[in-house]
Amino acid sequence: MMIQVILFGYFLTCVSVDGFRRTPATLILRDVPVAPDQSLETLTPFVPPSIPDPDAILLEAKVSSPQIPDAHVLLHADCNEQEVTCELSRYSPHGPQEAQEATHFLVSLSVEGGEFSTAFILQTSVVERDHSTLIQNKLGLPLSPSGTLLTEVIFLVFSHIKSVSAPLRGDVLLYCGFRQQETPLAQEVAVEWRLQHRGKGWKVFEMKTRLDDAEGSTVVLAERKGSSVNASLVVGQGDASLTLSRLKALDEGTYICTVTLGPFNAQQVIQLHVTQPPEVSLSEEKFVLKTDPPQTLSCHCSKYYPLDAQMEWWSLSPEDSEPKLLLDQGSLSSHRQHGDGSYSLSSHLSVPSSVSPGTRLTCRVSHQALDAPVSLTVVVESPTQGSYWWVLGFLIVSVLFFHQVMT
Ligand SMILES: *[C@@H]1O[C@H](CO)[C@@H](O)[C@H](O)[C@H]1NC(C)=O
């Protein structure tokens, strides 16, 4: 079943006299496929204005070929209270051009929450002009009898995930796909992945291939060690996903996937977050009170990423029913950074001799890579009979020794 969908967006004029002024525009997507079980009651069909308005920007596009993957997500964004972001701008194909009859627009469309994002290029369709044809005021383009600008999607790049988290030293797949109209725009395809982080940017991967001869023509022009894009998937399925292996903290940032097909290109942006939960350990497995305080109990958080980790000391004495946050939270070591970018941190707690045996001392660690805080506990034990006698024996021996020396 086919239905019509309307989406409101903003028109970003790039070449008109308005410069970069943002003007409201309407994008009418036709032929969005709808699953049989989807309810259509909440959808309002597009009704063309009874008197076409040459000032209004109404872009009408068919999305059946090439199909925009997951376009049905758009239909339910409203019910799910997800915001749809739509931006339109004039697009100029680059490189040497034959006299171009058509005008192009670039549309960026995404649904809040991130499971749908696409950038596509619209090409104006040929409109038969006669004396009654209206011309759009700002764009100078002929309008259809219902006042819309008729276009076709010719090329699109999409992603179904805007943000990915992966562990240090692990592997990750950053998804980026593309589709083009049935009559191929070009046989050469280039895939480029760039990383931007803290104001710096560099190329992670670049590849060129031909859609008609992937075997013979694939050239990898740049790559980070351990990165790859599968050329046969690029050619066979329009899948330009990037695999990164043995992740380091430095791999974190904003990835930009650019697919270039002949004179056209479009991009998708994906955030990669590297996370690694801390390994938490205590310096003592058994904590036996000694007679000569203070004794130190240390809690170590090792090899985690990113930097923010919170360590807390709690105690639960036999008299109490609830654990208490200790007033003295110990002293923190400075952060140590390892070769892979991960951090380690220790907290040293001076345990007062007044602590009663049976008290449970807990180190509690919170970090964004942990689903829940990790708590490690030792129970304070009174000096055992054996060690008590040992200490007493040692004292007697010392006293005797000094007695001998002095006399
Ligand atoms: C690329 O993808 C094809 C098709 O899925 C697969 O058969 C092949 O093993 C992949 N190549 C690499 C190097 O992963």
Whole-number average pLDDT of the chain: 83
CATH number of this structure's domain 1-155, picked from the four choices 1.10.10, 2.60.40, 1.10.3470, 2.60.120 = 2.60.40
Stronger pLDDT, 177 or 128, i.e. the higher one: 177
293-342 residue pLDDT tens: 678 999 999 999 999 999 999 999 988 889 999 888 889 998 899 988 89
| Token pair listed for 43 | 């959808």
Q: What is the pTM of this model?
A: 0.80
Using pLDDT thresholds of 50, 70 and 90, give the confidence band for residue 35: low
Task: Give the model's pLDDT for residue 23.
Answer: 80
Q: What whole-number distance in Å separates Cα of residue 262 and Cα of residue 246?
A: 34
Query: Distance, CA 237 to ligand 1 centroid (Å)?
Result: 11
Exposed, middle or buried by CB within 10 Å (0-12, 13-18, 19+), for 200? exposed
Q: Is the minimum distance from the CB of 214 to ligand 1 under 6 angstroms?
A: no
Q: Name the 3-class secondary structure at 14.
A: coil
Higher pLDDT, 2 or 361: 361
Q: Per-residue pLDDT tens for 374-386?
A: 999 999 988 765 5
Confirm or reject: Cβ of 233 under 6 Å from ligand 1: yes
pLDDT band at residue 17 under the 50/70/90 scheme:
very low
Ligand 1 pocket test, pick from 191, 207, 223, 230 with the greatest ligand atom count within 8 Å of Cβ, gives 230
> Tokens at residue 256, please?
């930009």
Three-state DSSP class for residue 183: coil
Cis, bond preceding 294 (omega within 30 deg of 0): yes
Q: Is 196 in the pocket of ligand 1 (CB under 6 A)?
A: no
pLDDT at 12: 31
282 Cβ closer than 6 Å to some ligand 1 atom: no
Least confident of 16-20, 90-94, 244-248: 16-20
Phi-psi region of 127 (alpha: psi -120 to 50; beta: other; left: phi over 0): beta
Q: What is the mean pLDDT of residues 143-163?
A: 89
- The residues spanned by each domain of the chain are 1-155, 161-275, 279-385
Q: Is 406 helix (H, G, I), strand (E, B) or coil?
A: helix
Look at ligand 1, atom 14, and give the residue with the nearest C-alpha. Answer: 230
pLDDT over threshold 70, residue 62: yes
d(CA 297, CA 317): 16
Among protein residues, the one whose CA lies closest to atom 13 of ligand 1: 230
Specify the fold of 279-385: Immunoglobulin-like (2.60.40)
Asked whether the predicted pLDDT for residue 255 surpasses 90, the reply is yes
Assign a CATH topology to domain 161-275: Immunoglobulin-like (2.60.40)
Does residue 13 surpass a pLDDT of 60?
no
Average pLDDT over residues 195-223: 87
220 lines ligand 1 (CB under 6 A): no
218 ligand 1 Cβ < 6 A: no
Kindly state if the Cβ of 141 falls inside 6 Å of ligand 1. no
Task: List phi, psi (to 5°) of 235.
Answer: -75, -45
Residue with tokens 């988290």: 165
Q: Do domains 1-155 and 279-385 have the same CATH topology?
A: yes
244-254: average pLDDT: 93
79 — alpha (psi -120 to 50), left (phi > 0) or beta? alpha
Answer whether 232 contacts ligand 1 (Cβ < 6 A). yes
